Amino acid sequence: MEERNLICTACPMGCRLVVKMEGDQVLQIAGNRCRRGESFGRQEAIAPQRMVASTVRVLNGFHPLLPVYTKGTVPKKKIAEVLAEIRKVQIAAPVANKTVIIKNILGTGVDVVASRDMPAKA
Ligand code: SF4
């Protein structure tokens, strides 16, 4: 049996979780103070997910880079590919906050969106 020690990041309490596993099977989760922690521990132990934040280049923008983020979590093992895909993008200003920059990135079902307005250069 394998034991993994994790910190739950589902809320600011940061409970210390102990996840007991047999192969890919979760047998027991301890240390969580609520059910969200149990879901987090199960997901994190089997297939960890993360939000990703980065920037894309902007043509004729007030700033040269536009901050973007994934609207949901993507598999942790795909983060490098997601960042590489984001780096390929160049967008023309103006861009409105929350504009979808990449739809369904790498077939994850998650969109990459702008995290601020980007006006064109005056
Ligand atoms: S187990 Fe519950 S209370 Fe503890 S950090 Fe996770 S979400 Fe917060």
Q: What is the CA radius of gyration of the chain?
A: 18
Distance CA 11, CA 34 (A): 10
Domain segments of the chain as ranges: 2-46, 53-114
Q: What is the enclosing helix (H) or strand (E) of 27?
A: strand 25-30
Q: How far is the CA of 15 from the centre of ligand 1 (A)?
A: 6
**Low-confidence spans in the chain with pLDDT less than 50:** none
Instruction: Give the residues surrounding ligand 1 with Cβ less than 6 Å away.
Output: 8, 10-11, 13-15, 32-34, 36-37, 40
Residue with the smallest CA separation from ligand 1 atom 4 is 15
Instruction: Among 8, 16, 19, 38, name the best residue to mutate to test ligand 1's pocket (greatest count of ligand atoms within 8 A of Cβ).
Output: 8
Cβ burial, residue 104 (10 Å; 0-12/13-18/19+) = exposed
Return the pLDDT at 8: 97
Q: How far is the CA of 36 from the centre of ligand 1 (A)?
A: 6
Counting from 1 in the atom list of ligand 1, the atom nearest the Cα of 14 is: 5
Is the pTM here over 0.75, yes or no? Answer: yes
Distance CA 4, CA 31 (A): 12
Q: Domain 53-114 - what CATH class?
A: alpha beta
Counting from 1 in the atom list of ligand 1, the atom nearest the Cα of 38 is: 1
Distance CA 114, CA 108 (A): 18
Distance CA 121, CA 111 (A): 26
